[in-house]
Amino acid sequence: MPRLALTLALLSFAGLGAAAGCKTDANCANDCLCQQRGWCGASWGRCEATEDAHCEKSDLCRLNGLCHAEAGKCVAKSDEGCRASRACTHLGACRAEAGRCK
């Protein structure tokens, strides 16, 4: 009997994980946050920026120069990315400093 109870508990837990919306790379790539924030890859069941390519094609890169993936988010690492952004042309934020264009 204890073995059956353990098996049922594990099956219930696995079902809850799926029901809670665990993400895969395919889910993330089709989510609107992929385009907006570069959160196109799955990591530990949630969408994040898992590679630079995700950030490079995002609105954050085009608008704010946040074109590199770091710790699941898009950040500014190069002056080149900042100079190519609208933040540079409209606000003068053309150099990368501490993960942002300033």
What is the C-alpha separation between 24 and 78, in angstroms, rounded? 29
Q: Which residues pair with 47 in a beta bridge?
A: 42
Residue 19 pLDDT > 60: no
State the pLDDT at residue 99: 98
12 to each of 7, 15, 27, how far by Cα in Å? Answer: 9, 5, 23
Average pLDDT over residues 48-63: 98
State the pLDDT at residue 22: 79
Place of tokens 């109870």: 5
Q: Which helix (H) or strand (E) holds 46?
A: strand 46-48
State the pLDDT at residue 11: 35
8 Å CB contact between 95 and 101: yes
Task: Provide the 10 A C-beta neighbour count for residue 90.
Answer: 9
State the pLDDT at residue 21: 65
Average pLDDT over residues 38-59: 97
What is the C-alpha separation between 85 and 34, in angstroms, rounded? 18
State the pLDDT at residue 20: 44
State the pLDDT at residue 12: 37
